[in-house]
Amino acid sequence: MAELIIPNEKVRDLSEAPRRLPIDIEGSVTSEILLTLWTVLNPKETNSARELGESWVEDLVAKIPEDLHKDLVQLGGPYGYVWLALSAFLLTAPHPHNPVEVLDWLENVDEGRLRRWAIGYISDSEDQGLIEQAASGDMEAVKQVMGDRAKKAPEKLEFLDWLVTTEGLPQRYANALRRFRETAFSEHEEDFAAAISRAAAARRTSPTRGEAKAVVEEVTSGIDFDIPLGVSRVVLVPSVVTRPLSLVDGHGGTLVVYYGIADEFIDSDPEAPPSWLVRTYKALSDERRLRIMRRLSEGSASLDELTSLLGLSKSTVHHHISQLRAAGLIRVHIPHNDEYQKHKIYSLREQSLADASGFLTSYLRNTDQEERHA
């Protein structure tokens, strides 16, 4: 089951935003480097819940030189949140987003811009004027930007004091990330990059269309998340290190959704069609499933109604429904007061069906396009 982690409180506190938003897919391994740092250096994280496990984390940390480990802990700030802030920040870099070019860009970025971004993330403040003052080194502004959180989280205030008085931050972050990549992450980078690229390419040709909320629910395998007011862009970031969990985070007008990639993209044939494409056409190849879909095109129906239509046992009909659900062709509605899920209602995902032939064409044209989009 997917798990939702929301490190940034303001994502949780705001009301629902307009439903249709631009959705981008990030296919570079650069974000994975930052996610890895947040995962392995965050004392609040329970890595046993992640598929890579505690031993993987321990082996990775053991490869980090002692002086670099100390620097990474300081640069990451409380609970490593700066690594998440930087992950979103690096998405604003010019393409391509490969690690070499992105870290070169980071090294030369305006120091004030980097400070403003980190302060806004750590403090959770939306007062841009106050953030600007804090970034310039105004210690009173630093306290004000933290507000009541200064007492509840003194470690954050202490970190911001350090952040606004330390020179050469872009260079320090870029060099620390380069060293981490070289000493610890490089062993995994090739495999991670290949899996992420495949997952991103598949998502670009995915049948998902329409509301951003529905997209988030799909990629996270069931997280029903109300998009906060003020969000103007959603970025989907497939990840190996987060598997099987999902991370929904935000900064400014961008909502970043890190989601664990599916098994099929790990050590798979890059020429193979996406599994959802295979499932779709397999589901459409059965006469009984086509009859179910025809009935649902007229309106929602229960299992009993579909069983009566086909004249088959409930278990057989349920099997066909499962095949259609796996292909993303139908949706199941469970009333909120239906404690034992006895009254499921099924309906057609009409957009998925309408686009089926287009998805096949997209796959045929884009199988070898991963590098162009990465």
pLDDT per residue, tens digit, the chain (374 aa), is 334 444 544 443 334 444 578 899 999 999 999 999 998 888 776 555 577 888 899 999 999 999 999 999 999 998 898 999 999 999 999 998 999 999 999 999 999 999 999 998 888 778 889 999 999 988 888 888 888 776 777 888 899 999 999 999 999 999 999 999 999 999 999 999 999 998 998 888 765 555 888 888 788 765 656 677 788 899 999 999 988 777 888 887 899 999 888 877 876 566 767 666 777 888 889 999 999 999 999 999 999 999 999 999 998 998 898 778 767 687 777 554 444 346 778 888 777 766 667 767 767 776 443 333 33
Which own/partner contact pairs does 58-63 have at CB distance under 8 Å and 24+ positions apart?
60/36, 60/184, 60/185, 60/188, 61/184, 63/183, 63/184, 63/187
CA 275 to chain centre: 20
Does this model's pTM top 0.75? My answer is no
Q: What is the residue type of 161?
A: D
E strand map for 183-279: 233-239, 246-251, 254-260
Asked whether the beta carbons of 351 and 210 are under 8 A apart, the reply is yes
Q: How crowded is the C-beta side of 357, counted as CA atoms within 13 Å?
A: 1
Q: What is the rounded CA–CA span in Å between residue 310 and residue 60?
A: 55
Task: Name the residue among 240, 225, 201, 215 with its Cα closest to residue 349.
Answer: 215
Can you list the domains of the chain with their CATH numbers? 4-265 (no CATH), 275-365 (1.10.10.10)
CB atoms within 10 A of CB 29: 26
